[in-house]
Amino acid sequence: MDKSLNWRETIITAVIKASGYSAILFVGLIFFFLLREGLPALSQVTLANLFSQRWYPIEAYYGILPLITGSLIVTLGAMLIAIPFGIGTAVFIAEIAPRWARDILKPFVELLGGLPSVVLGFLGILVLSPFLRVFLDLPTGLTALAGSLLLGGIAIPTIVSIAEDALDSVPRSYREGALAIGATRWQTIWRVTLPAARSGVLTAIMLGVGRAIGETMAVMMVTGNAPVLATRWNSLFMPARTMTATIAAEMGEVASGSTHYHVLFFIGLVLFLISLVVNVTASSVVFRQKKRAERVLS
Amino acid sequence: MNRILTQRLGFSLLTLVALFTVLPILVVFAYIIAKGAPAISWEFLSGFPREGMRAGGILPAIVGTFYLTLGTAIFSVPLGIAAAIYLAEYARENWLTRLIRIAIINLAGIPSVVYGLFGLGLFVFFLKFGTSLLSASLTLSIMTLPVIISASEEALRAVPQAFRTVSISLGGTRWQTIRRIVLPQALPGILTGVILGLERAAGETAPILFTGAAFFLPRLPHSPFDATMALPYHLFVISTQVPEMPFQIQYGTALVLIVFVLGMNLIATFIRSRARAKRQW
């Protein structure tokens, strides 16, 4: 073989290999830099302080519990909206809608997924929160609820898209079998198609949760930014503050290398680990499903 | 027939649910277009902000978002496509490949503000690029990478095996086969994925907050080491940080951002549907 050709082939193969490995490198780098900048927080702030109920960095109160509960309550509220509407829409698109409606609906819902979250936050400030204030007779509309409503909207496209794929990949023969023994289409959906697509639907929900916990701008703009420990249900109707919003709002103003700076990186580390757990779990569900499918087919 | 009734009720309910999901999207778009359109003028698109951003145009933000998108593309497109080629054409199914896939899934799930922290730690401080177009573009590139890799890999895998077999049997090397046969066939799919990835980067605020976004700049960035204004960050600033901001400018900015982002989405959809129509296999 031509020698120069051989050389080129070797170099290109090396470059492509290196690019392939780059994803691992980047996850490693992100983890490393979060550790490097976040771990000093543990030596500068006592654990009792870090896991206290008060976040007030100016006076060196670094309790991240209110931020964690803030993230949890906003995400929980978002899921109460996004799961029924997301799965419902996915079932409608995959099982009920006629072909033409389906070809329009799915790209349309995915279009919402492309809408920058800052635009939703902007509408949240100008339209949603004044409406909530009047409608629910609250002192302010900038509440965890406003954040939940927007986050629900942000998580829905993720859930619809993945859940619809899962429903769509259930073999035709499953449905035909159910219909042939006299089940209605409605019974087929609930007793055959949805259970068969179970793991895909679960993945959709998990990735929706991941999307909601990690969302920053929309939440920061509408939740009122009050780091109060959320303990009861009516916390949903009060201002709150999430972990992501805290980082985004305060990182611009801290001196690099200060205790506050390291604590914000520590919160980032917590977020990173949460997303790691969510995504690894979600993907292992997908892998399991694949393996089961392979078993059935072989 | 009781179960027929149940089915009717059930179907109506789900139709309603789908309607409640889709209608707000329409309303949001219609509302922003209706409120923002009156603000759009040549001066708004080509002028600099004046009077503490309460008047004038948003040119530096538009140009900034354009540069950021371009910068992101320069880094993430070659790397992402190369990584996809590795996964689709070279990698064997072993633990290393599984690890790469898990890493990609994780990259896709990391919160955008954590990317901002990472960019601040690595590019701004450690590599000393400062708060700049370069730092922000690099941060956005890594965030965009998983989208580009996944879409490109899918496009490459969709090319039938027979194409490769024929090329190899005619004496083509592996790389020649990929470059002359597989890549051209997969190009529309790859392009769609690239545009959708860049669309996300163009609309993001959190990753550029501390890596390159400027509150206000009276001029356009001159070099990759300049900070820059950007449409999403500008919308955030004028809707939360500037008191007595005229609504019209806010809605106008939101509209320009949406047109920028959704314009990319429409181009991607167009490429995809045209490629499907022209496909030879």
Tens of pLDDT, residue by residue over B173-203, are 889 999 999 999 999 889 988 998 999 999 9
Is residue B77 situated within a structural domain? yes
Pick the range with the lowest mean pLDDT from A175-184, B11-20, B22-31, B47-56.
Answer: B47-56
Interface test with A, best of B11, B29, B114 (most A CBs within 10 A): B114
Question: In degrees rounded to 5, what are phi and psi of residue A114?
Answer: -85, -10
Residue B217, sorted as left (phi over 0), alpha (psi -120 to 50) or beta, turns out to be beta
In b/e form, how buried is each residue of A191-209, taking b as 16+ CB within 10 angstroms? Answer: ebbbebbebbbbbbbbbbb
Indicate the residue of A123, A160, A214 with minimum beta-carbon distance to B111.
Answer: A214
Residues in B closer than 8 angstroms to A272, CB to CB, are 110-111, 114
Nearest C-alpha in A relative to B88: A20
Q: Does the pLDDT at position B152 exceed 60?
A: yes
Which of B84, B79, B101 is CA-nearest to residue B153?
Answer: B84
User: Is a pLDDT exceeding 50 seen at residue B277?
Assistant: yes
In a shared domain, residues A103 and A216: yes
Nearest-Cα distance to chain B for A90, in Å, is 8
- When CB atoms are compared, the residue of A17, A85, A88 closest to B86 is A17
Cα–Cα distances (Å) from A79 to A111, A132, A148, A215, B144, in that order, read: 20, 19, 8, 13, 26
Collapsing DSSP to helix, strand or coil, B128 comes out as coil
In angstroms, the Cα distances linking B183 to A39, B82, B88, B177, B271 are 44, 11, 11, 9, 16
Is the same domain home to A18 and A106? Answer: no
Residues A239 and A147 both lie in one domain:
yes
Co-location of A34 and A83 in the same domain = no
- Whole domain around residue A23: which residue ranges? 3-38
Burial B213-228 (b: 16+ CB within 10 A, else e): bbeebeeebeebebbb
- Say if the Cβ atoms of A33 and B121 lie within 8 Å: yes
- Tell whether A213 and A79 lie within a shared domain: yes
Q: Which residues contact A24 (CB under 8 A, 6 or more apart)?
A: B99, B100, B103
**Identity (one letter) of the amino acid at A194?**
L
CB contact at 8 A, A163 and A106: no
- Both A130 and A228 in one domain: the answer is yes
Residue B50, helix vs strand vs coil: strand
Q: Does residue A222 lie in a domain region?
A: yes
DSSP code for B121: I
Name the residue among A153, A244, A271 with its Cβ closest to that of B24: A153
Residue type, A244: T
B270 in a domain, yes or no? no
| Alpha carbons B174 and B247: distance in angstroms, whole number | 58
Q: Dump pLDDT digits (tens) for A54-69.
A: 888 888 889 899 999 9
Q: Is the Cβ pair A20, B82 closer than 8 Å?
A: yes
How many Å lie between the alpha carbon of B17 and the closest alpha carbon of chain A? Answer: 6
Please work out, in degrees rounded to the nearest 5, the angle formed at the alpha carbon of residue B144 by the alpha carbons of B163 and B189: 25
**A44 Cβ neighbours under 8 A, 6+ residues apart:** A259, A262
Same domain, yes or no: A28 and A70: no
Residue of B202, B239, B261 lying closest to A122 (CB–CB): B239
Residue-number span of the structural domain to which B193 is assigned: 58-230
Query: What is the percent of chain A where pLDDT is above 90?
Result: 48
CATH number of the domain bearing residue A77:
1.10.3720.10
CA pair distance A30, A41, nearest whole angstrom: 17
Do the chains contact at B107 and A283, CB–CB below 8 Å?
Answer: no
State how far the Cα of B132 lies from the Cα of B212, in Å rounded to an integer.
4
Q: How confident is the model at residue B3 (pLDDT cuts 50, 70, 90)?
A: confident
**Domains held by chain A: number:** 2
Average pLDDT (B259-280) is 83
Claim to verify: residue A73 and residue A20 sit in the same structural domain: no
Tell if the CB–CB gap between A20 and B83 is shorter than 8 Å: yes
Q: Is B142 on the interface with A (CB under 8 A)?
A: yes
Query: Which residues of A fall within a CB distance of 8 Å from B242?
Result: none
> How far is B113 from B148, CA to CA, in rounded Å?
20
Asked whether residue B86 is assigned to any structural domain, the reply reads: yes
Per the structure, how many domains does chain B have?
1
Range ranked top by mean pLDDT from A140-144, B48-52, B121-125 = B121-125
- Name the pTM for this structure: 0.91
In this prediction, residue A102 has a pLDDT band, given cuts at 50, 70 and 90, of confident
Which one-letter amino acid corresponds to residue B270?
A: F
Q: Given a cut of 50, is residue A298 above it in pLDDT?
A: no
Confirm if A206 and A285 have CB atoms less than 8 A apart.
yes
Q: Are residues A106 and A222 in the same domain?
A: yes
Q: Is residue A125 in some structural domain? A: yes
- Give the other-Cβ count within 10 Å of B71's Cβ: 23
pLDDT (tens digit per residue) in A195-241: 999 888 998 998 899 889 999 999 999 988 888 787 777 788 888 89
Out of B10, B87, B118, closest to residue A33 by CB: B118
Choose from B31, B110, B147 for mutation: most chain A CBs within 10 A: B110
Which residue has better confidence, B228 or B219?
B228
Question: For residues B188-198, b (16+ Cβ closer than 10 Å) or e, as one string?
Answer: bbbbbbbbbbb
Distance from C-alpha of B216 to C-alpha of B55, rounded to nearest angstrom: 13
Based on the fold, state whether residues A182 and A247 are members of the same structural domain: yes
Which chain B residues are within 8 Å of A256, Cβ to Cβ? 125
Query: What are A131-179's pLDDT values in tens digits?
Result: 988 888 888 888 889 999 999 999 999 999 889 988 988 888 999 999 9
Nearest Cα of chain B lies from the Cα of A49 at a distance, in angstroms, of: 23
